[in-house]
């Protein structure tokens, strides 16, 4: 029943009502992601998965002044894990942003402040159910008519379920990105992100574990383990993404990307341990005109 409601929420959000104001924009996205370490684990706790997601979005922009504006958005996203079925989840989020571009030149930078609130509900993983509050500050500029640079900082506060508060996480981020137009409309893009703070990993044993950890029923069966543990440690993660956006027609495009994620633990018996993840993603994007 949860999946039926999830898909219904996505389609209702993506479909523009007849009375929608001209300022509203609606989008629909479907993507398939292969993750070679969906459990963020080591050795017996490491397993790949394929994740199919469907997302609907609604965004409205408002001009507040000659150089300032605001954007409000809502997103409904359902993700289905093919192997770790209990991790399948519905995410509902809302975002508000304020932007200013002081200059009038083509290359004049913009500055943006944004807040995001997300609610997560999993198929059968109470540990991961909860909410995420994010605050971001970013800037960007066109360097040439084909190249755009951007970057920013952010902070996230996540609240989870369970008795030990395993997914009560606090992290901070710094990121940089480049978008390069090739040909007429094709876009090649890259992004680097550094995330520091609380991370959750998994293991088939409790040897050397300290701090906050809980038995994770969602991982037991797919990993073929009697006991599967998730544990929280302070770590630093570097994420690297390279992608290609290929427009199909007005309002629709295909998007492909490769990502590498490397985390390094900073505390406890696992200090210095690294967790690696590689991801391949293919997506169809459509914006209703």
Is 57's pLDDT higher than 50? Answer: yes
Which of 12, 25, 116 has its CA nearest to residue 54? Answer: 12
| CA atoms within 13 A of residue 248's CA, in its CB half-sphere | 10
Do strands 169-182 and 147-159 pair parallel, antiparallel, or not at all (unpaired)?
antiparallel
The mean pLDDT of the chain is 88
Dist. CA 285–CA 32, nearest whole Å = 12
Q: Which residues contact 148 (CB under 8 A, 6 or more apart)?
A: 140, 141, 142, 178, 179, 180
For 14-33, the pLDDT digits (tens) are 444 433 335 789 999 999 99
Name the CATH superfamily, with its identifier, for domain 2-15+26-288: monomeric porin ompg (2.40.160.40)
Give the model's pLDDT for residue 10. Answer: 40
Tokens of 77: 């996203």
10 Å CB burial of residue 178 (0-12, 13-18, 19+) is middle
Split at pLDDT 50, 70, 90, the class of 236 is: very high
Dist. CA 172–CA 156, nearest whole Å = 6
Give the model's pLDDT for residue 107. Answer: 82
Split at pLDDT 50, 70, 90, the class of 206 is: low
Give the model's pLDDT for residue 8. Answer: 38
Total-model pTM: 0.87
Is 56's pLDDT higher than 60? Answer: yes
Please check whether residue 263 is in contact with residue 232, taking contact to mean a CB–CB distance below 8 angstroms: no
R_g over Cα of the chain: 20
Tokens of 73: 């958005």
Dist. CA 95–CA 154, nearest whole Å = 14
For 71-124, the pLDDT digits (tens) are 999 999 999 999 999 999 999 999 999 999 998 887 889 999 999 999 999 999
């Amino acid at each position: 029943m949860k999946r039926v409601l999830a898909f219904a929420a996505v389609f209702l959000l993506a479909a523009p009502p007849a009375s929608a104001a001209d300022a509203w924009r609606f989008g629909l996205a479907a993507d398939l992601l292969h993750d070679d370490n969906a459990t963020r684990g080591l050795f017996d706790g490491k397993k790949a998965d394929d994740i199919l997601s469907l997302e609907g979005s609604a965004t409205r922009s408002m001009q507040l002044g000659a150089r300032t504006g605001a954007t409000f958005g809502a997103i409904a996203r359902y993700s289905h894990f093919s192997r770790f079925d209990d991790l399948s989840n519905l995410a509902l989020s809302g975002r508000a942003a304020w932007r200013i571009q002081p200059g009038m030149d083509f290359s004049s930078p913009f500055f943006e402040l944004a807040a995001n609130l997300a609610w997560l509900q999993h198929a059968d993983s109470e540990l991961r159910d909860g909410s995420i509050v994010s605050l971001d500050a970013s800037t960007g500029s066109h360097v040439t008519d084909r190249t755009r640079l951007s970057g920013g900082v952010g902070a996230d506060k996540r609240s989870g379920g369970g008795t030990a508060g395993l997914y009560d996480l606090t992290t901070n981020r710094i990121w940089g990105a480049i978008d390069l137009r090739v040909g007429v409309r094709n876009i090649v893009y890259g992004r680097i992100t550094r995330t520091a703070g609380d991370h959750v990993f998994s293991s088939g044993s409790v040897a050397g574990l300290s701090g906050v950890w809980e038995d994770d029923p969602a991982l037991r069966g797919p990993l073929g383990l009697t006991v599967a543990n998730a544990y929280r440690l302070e770590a630093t993660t570097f994420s690297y993404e390279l992608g290609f956006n290929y427009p199909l027609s007005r309002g629709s495009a295909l998007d492909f990307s490769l990502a590498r994620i490397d985390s390094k633990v900073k505390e406890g018996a696992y200090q210095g341990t690294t967790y690696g993840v590689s991801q391949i993603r293919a997506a169809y994007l459509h914006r209703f005109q």
